[in-house]
């Protein structure tokens, strides 16, 4: 049986504490960015926070991709 990316992510989330933390943060960042997306106006401070979260989310995703790449 070939392990799909989703299966691999699930397995890593269970077995690899670092990957689990990154995956959980990714989900939280996604939810927060969705909240910002639904706002009609962002103050300068809120916009800076949104950009910071985008960068953190991207950095985490890059690290998760690196972990996945090493297992493929």
The full set of domain ranges for the chain reads 5-71
Do residues 60 and 22 lie in contact, with contact meaning Cβ atoms separated by under 8 Å?
Answer: yes
Do residues 42 and 28 lie in contact, with contact meaning Cβ atoms separated by under 8 Å?
Answer: no
Q: Which long-range contacts (CB under 8 A, 24 or more apart) does 24-29 make?
A: 25/56, 25/57, 25/60, 26/57, 26/60, 26/61, 26/64, 29/53, 29/54, 29/56, 29/57, 29/60
pLDDT digits (tens, 9 = 90+) for 34-70: 999 999 999 999 999 999 999 999 999 999 999 988 8
State yes or no: pLDDT of 19 exceeds 60: yes
User: What predicted TM-score, i.e. pTM, was given to this entire model?
Assistant: 0.82
């Amino acid at each position: 049986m070939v392990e799909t990316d989703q299966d691999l992510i699930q397995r890593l989330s269970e077995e690899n504490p670092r990957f689990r933390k990154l995956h959980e943060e990714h989900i939280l960042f996604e939810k927060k960015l969705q909240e910002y997306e639904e706002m009609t106006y962002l103050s300068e401070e809120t916009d800076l926070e949104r950009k910071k979260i985008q960068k953190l989310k991207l950095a985490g995703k890059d690290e998760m991709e690196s972990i996945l790449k090493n297992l493929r």
